[in-house]
Amino acid sequence: MDIRHPLDTRLPAMLRSGRPLRAIFNSLPSAAIVEMCGYAGFDFVVIDNEHGSAGHETTEHMLRAARASGIVPVVRCLRQDIARVLDMGASAVQIPMVESADEARDLVQQVRYPGVGRRGSAFSSRAAGYGAFAGAAHTQRSNEGIALIVMIETPEAVDQAAEIAAVPGVDAVFVGPNDLAHSMGFGNDWKSPAVEAAIERALRAVSNAGICAGIIALTPEDEARYGQWGARYFATVASSVITQALRHASTAGGRAKAVEGIAY
């Protein structure tokens, strides 16, 4: 009997591949939306537990939905939740507000098992198949197959971008444009020339270090511009996509087009 391992280990290779990757943040506590993201063809989904409302049990169900629908699941979480999220079977954690190489090195230690880091071992978790895939093989699979994505969101972090990206064990660096704009005093105007200059500097530094650089890209024009600066991981936001679709559907013409695509 062919049993699918609960831990999807494709992400590190995807981040090293050199090809553009398209992801979607989902802050809504819904396994169905995770499945929909998978069926829509995104490379990976970022379950947003920094700003979302999902508890740990719901997060685990969302990870199951990702595995069932074939999409790689990343969880954006706070530092204190790293161990639990990884034991649930996340393929990666994406950690906000990393400002230095020292912070990045400490995160590597939290994500990797002993031999590389200091993550606590537990083989009764979902990630280890509740003991079905315990022992050294699980430790190796996790150390090699789980990714760490760190987020740059302040001017201090932009100054340290190259050093952060150079930390062994960091698989990608994501620039958070909205928080960066706020920290620079521009509110949510991340299209301000000063903020865009900081974004460009960070993306180029990360790319030049040979690490996958990521950013929110809400339009094809955003993706083209950030791609020229070295970005390869482009993300959109599920709640925004859904809201825009609903707004479109609320118009007469939008309703007509929506109905054409529905099979009753």
Secondary structure letter of residue 234 according to DSSP: E
Contact residues for 107 (Cβ-Cβ < 8 A; gap 6+): 79, 82, 95, 98, 148, 150, 170
Q: Which of 5, 51, 56, 182 is catalytic?
A: 51
CA–CA gap between residue 36 and residue 95 (Å, rounded) = 24
At residue 260, what is the residue type? E
At residue 220, what is the residue type? P
Q: Is 253 helix (H, G, I), strand (E, B) or coil?
A: helix
Task: Give the relative orientation of helices 31-40 and 56-69 as an angle to the nearest 10 degrees.
Answer: 30
CA–CA gap between residue 237 and residue 59 (Å, rounded) = 17
| Chain centre distance of CA 228 | 21
Q: Is 51 assigned a catalytic role?
A: yes
Catalytic residues: 51
